[in-house]
Amino acid sequence: MVVQSNNTAKYQNSINHMKTTEHQQKKASKELSTGKKVNTAADDAVALSISQKLLKEAQSLSTGSKNISYGIDATNIADGALSNISDSLGDIEQNTVRAMNGLYSDSDRAILQEANEQSVATINQTINQAQYNGKNLLDGSSGDISIYTGTASMSITETDARAVADQLENFDISGNPDTISTSAIDSTSDAINSMRSQIGAQTNGLEAAYSVNNNTEENITSAQAAKEDADFYKSVTKMKSSGIVGAAQNMALKNQMNSEESLVQKLLQ
């Protein structure tokens, strides 16, 4: 005897519903384990595409911020060196003014001249040591330095303190006090102050760009997270509900199978 059942379709529907519920539970579990609601293109192809573009832009800005920070470090080194040069020029000027006093002897002025020559040597040493990552910052050899911010380029303008300081190499205050002048020192100081003003302006520009980069990166990262990151409360709720539904579906299928088995046994009695 052949027993035919019209419950085959019901079995298949129940199994299909169980597979759907299992898929939902696995998806919720994946969201909780990765912290992302979009883990594959199948989850949301458009959201994933936008998220990846935003992530790339944020990473570019992050790298650009590092570039800017290196530029700020370089300008700070250059400004510190120029400040030391200004101090040395102040010493030279004081010695020069003293040498212009007719009450000083030739030997006194010779001592002052030696002190000035030492200060000039200190200036040259300062210029030589003003480097960042092996790149000279004050001797005119670096050219303009380009800083890529992640979206645009900024420049640290070439600074040639060497050419300015060279006019002090033959500066002599050991002779006739009536012929001594501070004009060379004054012009050198003016040039150094101008360089410091330029570097200060560029440092301010770099710091402003750094702040803009960080704010923009933060906003983009927030937007990217909104597209991709999971809502843990929703994921937990979805996982719990799918688990309850799955258990109920299993119970219903088991009862259905038991009922079918009982019916067959009665027919065979």
Please indicate, yes or no, whether residues 164 and 208 belong to a single structural domain of this protein.
yes
pLDDT, mean of residues 210-227: 86
User: Which pLDDT band holds residue 229 (cuts at 50, 70, 90)?
Assistant: low
Nearest in space to 213 (alpha carbons), one of 102, 63, 104, 92: 63
Q: For residues 70-99, give the mean pLDDT.
A: 97
- Residue of 135, 138, 196, 145 whose CA lies nearest to 162: 138
So what's the pLDDT on residue 223? 82
Is 183 within the bounds of a domain? yes
Residue 251 domain-assigned (yes or no):
yes
79: domain CATH number is 1.20.1330.10
Mean pLDDT, rounded, for 190-194 = 96
In which band, very low, low, confident or very high, does the pLDDT at 167 lie, cut at 50, 70 and 90?
A: confident
> Do 168 and 238 share a structural domain?
no
Residues 6+ apart with CB under 8 A from 138: 78, 81, 82, 126, 127, 130, 159, 160, 161, 162
Same domain, 169 and 63: yes
Task: Specify the 3-state DSSP secondary structure of 148.
Answer: strand
How many helices (H) does the chain have, and how many strands (E)?
Answer: 6, 4
Domain count, the chain: 2
- Per-residue pLDDT at 236 exceeds 60: no
pLDDT for residue 130 is more than 60: yes
Are 98 and 180 in a shared domain? yes
pLDDT at 183: 93
- 3-class secondary-structure state, position 70: helix
> Does residue 87 sit in the same domain as residue 170?
yes
The length of the chain is 269
In a domain, 27, yes or no: no
Same domain as 251, residue 223:
no
List the end-to-end C-alpha distance of the chain, in Å, as a whole number.
12
Residues 73, 88, single domain; the answer is yes
Residue 204 makes CB contacts below 8 A (sequence gap 6+) with: none
Q: What tokens were used for 30?
A: 């994946």
> What's the pLDDT at 232?
44
What's residue 32's pLDDT? 55
Same domain (yes/no): 183, 235: no
β-partners of residue 136 are 131
Residues 55 and 155 in one domain: yes
Q: By the 8 A CB rule, do 60 and 151 touch?
A: yes
| Residues 207, 241 share a domain | no
Q: Is the pLDDT of residue 256 over 70?
A: no
Contacts of 86 (CB under 8 A, 6+ apart): 189, 192, 193, 196
Q: Which domain holds residue 121?
A: 46-227
Q: Do both 221 and 260 map to the same domain?
A: no
State the average pLDDT over residues 8-35: 57
Is this structure's pTM higher than 0.85?
no
Q: Does residue 191 share a domain with residue 128?
A: yes
Give 103's DSSP letter: T
Of the pLDDT bands very low, low, confident and very high (cuts 50, 70, 90), residue 238 is low
